[in-house]
């Protein structure tokens, strides 16, 4: 994780396209792949078009020890934009490493865990490995599509500590299940992840301030209800191996 501000430098590696400096407020959460632009223009365009079709929004070239993390917006690369820079303030980068044997469940688990811990951009490493692993590529693309489909929800979210009115306990899970809050002025979001290779039975007990009303499962579209308990709302669930749960509720109940 990089706690400094994340600067996205948007560039096009072609004659006549220099680096220009400007600032903008991004209206999406950058989700992309590690990729060095192919020197063959036709191959490069094919790669970028495939990435865009899969709903990835940025690419990240190879890391540099002396430069800030740099990204390029795929849509602007394809459009040969003359305005290639943008800045996301106070952002962290979450990276998910992929190889030919990485399983889809591990990709989903890692990507949502990065987001749960406050990542403001998620990069899958790398494009060559993803092309050799269809199931991992499909899962990475599903994550990208989920965030791209609802930017108004995901862009304003920030991680908050599980204390006070946001406190909860996790019973069961054998220490393999964790949960984190993300919050915006309008929304409360819970991301819970089972890091175990086997199923885990878990009971989450929340502070009394958390509503028992209907929550939405953002990965399945189904409704979830907490039940009243002596110490606060309770939710019981069996998590399959490497399972991810993403629950959202609007804060109109406040």
SS3 240: coil
Q: What share of the chain is helix, strand, coil (3-state, %, to 5)?
A: 25, 30, 45
pLDDT at position 129, please?
94
Residue-by-residue DSSP string for 125-167:
E-HHHHHT-HHHHHHHHHHHHHHHH-HHHHTT-EEE-S-GGG-
Confidence bin at 107 (pLDDT 50/70/90)? very high
pLDDT of residue 233: 95
pTM summary value:
0.85
The reported pLDDT for the residue numbered 6 is: 35
Q: Which CATH superfamily is domain 158-253 in?
A: Golgi alpha-mannosidase II (2.60.40.1180)
C-alpha distances in Å from residue 248, one per residue of 40, 104, 173, 183: 44, 24, 22, 10
What is the spatial distance between Cα 56 and Cα 5, in angstroms, rounded to a whole number?
21
pLDDT average, residue stretch 111-127: 94
Q: What mean pLDDT comes out for the span 147-166?
A: 95
Domain boundaries, the chain: 6-154, 158-253
Q: What is the C-alpha to C-alpha distance for residues 199 and 241, in angstroms, rounded to an integer?
A: 5
């Amino acid at each position: 994780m990089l706690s400094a501000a994340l600067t996205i430098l948007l560039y096009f590696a072609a004659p006549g396209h220099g680096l220009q400096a400007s600032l903008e407020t991004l209206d999406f959460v950058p989700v992309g792949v590690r990729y060095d632009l192919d020197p063959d223009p036709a191959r490069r365009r094919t790669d970028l078009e495939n990435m865009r079709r899969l709903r990835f929004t940025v690419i990240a070239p190879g890391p540099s020890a002396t430069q800030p993390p740099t990204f390029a917006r795929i849509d602007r690369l394809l459009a040969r934009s003359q305005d290639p820079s943008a800045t996301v303030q106070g952002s962290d980068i979450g990276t998910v490493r992929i190889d030919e044997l990485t399983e889809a469940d591990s990709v989903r688990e890692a990507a949502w865990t990065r987001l749960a811990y406050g990542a403001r951009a998620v990069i899958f490493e790398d494009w060559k490995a993803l092309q050799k692993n269809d199931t991992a590529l499909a899962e990475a693309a599903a994550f990208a599509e989920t965030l791209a489909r609802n930017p108004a929800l995901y862009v304003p979210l920030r991680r908050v500590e599980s204390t006070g009115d946001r406190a909860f306990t996790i019973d069961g899970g054998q220490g393999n299940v964790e949960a984190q809050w993300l919050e915006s002025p309008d929304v409360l979001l819970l991301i819970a992840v089972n890091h175990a290779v086997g199923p885990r039975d878990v009971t989450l007990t929340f502070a009394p301030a958390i509503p028992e009303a209907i929550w939405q499962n953002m990965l399945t579209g189904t409704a979830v209800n907490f039940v009243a308990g002596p110490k606060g709302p309770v939710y019981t669930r069996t998590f399959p191996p490497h399972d991810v749960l993403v629950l959202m509720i609007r804060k109109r109940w406040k």
